[in-house]
Structure 1
């Protein structure tokens, strides 16, 4: 391999600027919409897999969003780039203390240049990974306006002057499938080809993908070529073992969310009904996929009659994975070693900027260490080609 292709990262994150809703939310909603605030933070407790957060006037200055009865602080582990590993804690942080590329698109492009990254798809932070913040709001009229305001900011401000290097990823109003369909159409009309969705909607109190409720959403995503991106934790919970286990247990088990979700889809009939629909699992890694596919195919072969899928899934489940599902990785040598089963056309790369897991600013070195020994065509696919095809990007044409 003569040179590593510049990376297209399919999973990064953005810290929302303080002016987002003041600028993009219609004036009639601003007094009821999210408001930025800098205030002290108390000690964070992690109890039963959930953070317990309080304000403390004597605590470390922290940037918050205040929205209805929600108080949402930014923490150092989600804006970790630039800190030493042992400083990537759950302490509060202000935007001024962050590396500016966390929230400034001009500086983000500079950091991408430093990190061998050409293009980046960014998930939200304050709205949470698929917009749960707005789905949980009491006033749904304002919440819908917030979803649209976020999407307008994402398309026009965050991505607008990047020359296509920042790829828009939009939200939907999760609480109403008809409104979701309308929002997909609105954004697709201006070139958006990616939406974020919950890996397991029932954990959010929403209908199951098996129910048929989401079929209009899947149909419009198929029609418009919009990729359904599901980040680990987009069900507002992470896998855990003992309730008093440290957060490291959840971090180690995080791929379980993606695995559970993928099994849901493989046996749901959704991919049979919508054969051009594209699903993408974000930050789930891929080393687990070979056994998951083997097990799914074995269950289909041996247990489909009593298992309720004999008439629903006409072909082995792996058929639909290879045809319609994308995974991604950034530290997963086992997955790379199994790339023939994971799928040379199914795997994409990510940098997770600016989270604690991020490979910034060493992405090139990390990637090279993973792909050494692979042929140039496969390296191209993993680093950028599959992402271009997945997101229908106007690159390398």
Structure 2
């Protein structure tokens, strides 16, 4: 295990390059439905996914490496190489003092929700597999400091389970899933027993199930169309973690954690400040409404769930959430990232905590969760 900096970032993004799918999907089969970039009349680039046009500025959230963090890239050439070239990512990590990075997608959606909205199940599966293979072949196979997580097709569930098994066998360390599939197309609610084979597979393979903040935009307050450009990124960054309040509340009351007591669940880009309130309130309502579960919501959380932090004071919240339930993140390369000052941020946010508590949050929890081995082969 590389342990030079003693920080593992549990939430970072990879920006997929324009040829990820055009190289891997047969044009004779899929034609222009293959995810690709087109340049508009205004000179700006956009991704086109099965006929759906998505501005590059919405996909490539790379403010940390833009000349102005409030700006978004209009063209592919505007994107810094550290967002999409593995060797350059390693250099950016070294500059920031980060040993390992756990990766989430961009073009596919934070949690694969853009592909999850594709109605053609064969195309959805082809796009998902292409991403999962690309991430292993062109990123994580080049350097063990890059930790891959797979996205999945959402239906049929047999295909979901099959891709999880294939991807994990191929090297993926986590499974990314949209917070609410019903928002994407005509799919069952996430609480439905339809998905039980998915949770069972994650539990059996001992890989975390990961929900990224913002993967269900319907749970967020809409941005005003006349909001100044320099404020839009800040607004989106602030409201995105709020959606996790809905996600976590649902998971705690869904009985999923009771049915699958060894399932591990990560809420990425969540922040932690609201966690204390939510757990206290959930326990209060549990007792008031006589939910009669085997465990209180806070007990289920402390057994199976993780939140992520990167900018806020940790000590007071860790008392209630648990130091073993917090993962550290830099959120590179988004505008709200602490790059390239993540170490000073960590020192400030973890002030007054013991060395062992800091070590646990900055690297120990993630090393154990993602099975990041030391160089001598011993797992954390």
Shared fold, TM over 0.5: yes
Cα 1:144/1:284, change in 2 over 3 Å:
same
**In the alignment, what sits opposite 1:45?**
none
Match of 2:70 among 88, 92, 96: 88
Match of 2:51 among 58, 69, 76: 69
Match of 2:324 among 332, 336, 345: 345
**Residue 64 of structure 2 contacts residue 336 of structure 2 at CA under 8 Å; is this kept in 1?**
no
State whether structure 2 residue 97 is matched by structure 1 residue 111: no
> What is the CA–CA distance in structure 2 between the aligned matches of 1:332 and 1:245, rounded to whole Å?
30
SS of 2:218's equivalent in the other structure is coil
> What is the CA–CA distance in structure 1 between the aligned matches of 2:210 and 2:113, rounded to whole Å?
14
> What is the CA–CA distance in structure 2 between the aligned matches of 1:4 and 1:110, rounded to whole Å?
14
State whether structure 2 residue 259 is matched by structure 1 residue 278: no
SS of 2:48's equivalent in the other structure is strand
**In the alignment, what sits opposite 1:52?**
none
Tell me the matched-pair count: 367
Match of 1:160 among 134, 137, 141: 141
> What is the CA–CA distance in structure 1 between the aligned matches of 2:316 and 2:275, rounded to whole Å?
12
**In the alignment, what sits opposite 2:279?**
293
**In the alignment, what sits opposite 1:137?**
118
Matches within 5 A, 1:1-397: 5-26=5-26, 28-29=28-29, 31-39=31-39, 55=40, 57=41, 59=42, 61-75=43-57, 78-85=61-68, 87-90=69-72, 92-94=74-76, 96-162=77-143, 164-205=144-185, 206-240=187-221, 246=227, 247=232, 248-304=234-290, 309-310=291-292, 313-333=293-313, 335-395=314-374, 397=378
> What is the CA–CA distance in structure 1 between the aligned matches of 2:56 and 2:374, rounded to whole Å?
34
1:8-48 per-position Cα deviation (integer Å, ceiling 9, x unaligned): 11111111112211333356545244353352xxxxxxxxx
> What is the CA–CA distance in structure 2 between the aligned matches of 1:20 and 1:249, rounded to whole Å?
31
* CA root-mean-square deviation: 2.3
1:229-248 per-position Cα deviation (integer Å, ceiling 9, x unaligned): 11111113352178679445
**Residue 33 of structure 2 contacts residue 51 of structure 2 at CA under 8 Å; is this kept in 1?**
no
TM-score, normalised relative to structure 1: 0.86
SS of 2:170's equivalent in the other structure is coil
SS of 1:78's equivalent in the other structure is coil
SS of 1:65's equivalent in the other structure is strand
More helix by share: 2
SS of 2:44's equivalent in the other structure is strand
**Residue 315 of structure 2 contacts residue 352 of structure 2 at CA under 8 Å; is this kept in 1?**
no
Structure 1, unpaired ranges of 5+: 40-54
Cα 1:355/1:250, change in 2 over 3 Å:
closer
> What is the CA–CA distance in structure 1 between the aligned matches of 2:19 and 2:362, rounded to whole Å?
34
> What is the CA–CA distance in structure 1 between the aligned matches of 2:148 and 2:215, rounded to whole Å?
18
> What is the CA–CA distance in structure 1 between the aligned matches of 2:75 and 2:225, rounded to whole Å?
26
SS of 1:233's equivalent in the other structure is coil
SS of 2:166's equivalent in the other structure is helix
> What is the CA–CA distance in structure 2 between the aligned matches of 1:125 and 1:241, rounded to whole Å?
20
> What is the CA–CA distance in structure 2 between the aligned matches of 1:378 and 1:317, rounded to whole Å?
24
1:129-155 per-position Cα deviation (integer Å, ceiling 9, x unaligned): 122222222432122111111110011
Structure 1 window deviating more from structure 2 (20-29 vs 277-286): it is 20-29
